[in-house]
Structure 1
């Protein structure tokens, strides 16, 4: 069974989480406040981009870039032009 990786960021009072499911048919999902807002299939070692919005007034776009390993992937979130590395999270 391939590993699953989790990343988290608190941004402007909202929870931004990325779950990356490894394996032959891997996928990544972006959750904002626990609700899925973006999803993409993983294709080998190619980087992924997920997009969503923070439910602020007005809504703020969120872009997450996932760079696969070797080893643990790396997730970077861009919100309002500011780039932040997301912290790995154990579940």
Structure 2
């Protein structure tokens, strides 16, 4: 059964959103400031990482990591610049 889960965080003045679609194939879409900047799929139940860049000067590389389960999916923003891990809050739509 397919389900869509939404996550969001504001980081360095930019809006980062992720949609995780579960089912036979895990699909992760990442938007920065409302524009799609990353996409990944897998058939496994393993975490998926999507490398993206934030439009700063110079661009800031970050990674969104989606974990499909067990239970509800989770998303993290991994900031390479400061080495920090930020939890992306779930959103209901």
Inter-partner Cα distance in structure 2 for 1:51 and 1:87:
19
Match of 1:9 in 2: 9
Q: For the aligned residues, what is the CA RMSD? A: 1.3
Counterpart check, 1:84 vs 2:74:
no
The equivalences for 1:1-91 within 5 A come to 1-79=1-79, 80=81, 81-91=83-93
Unaligned runs of 5+ in 2: none
Q: How many residues were matched structurally?
A: 91
Task: Using structure 1 for the length normalisation, give the TM-score.
Answer: 0.90
> Aligned equivalents of 2:41 and 2:18: distance in 1?
13
Q: Secondary structure at the match of 2:29?
A: strand
How does the TM-score come out when normalised to structure 2? Answer: 0.89
Query: 2:77, 2:85 within 8 Å by CA — same for their partners in 1?
Result: yes
Shift of the alpha carbon at 1:68?
1.3
Alignment gaps of 5+ in structure 1: none
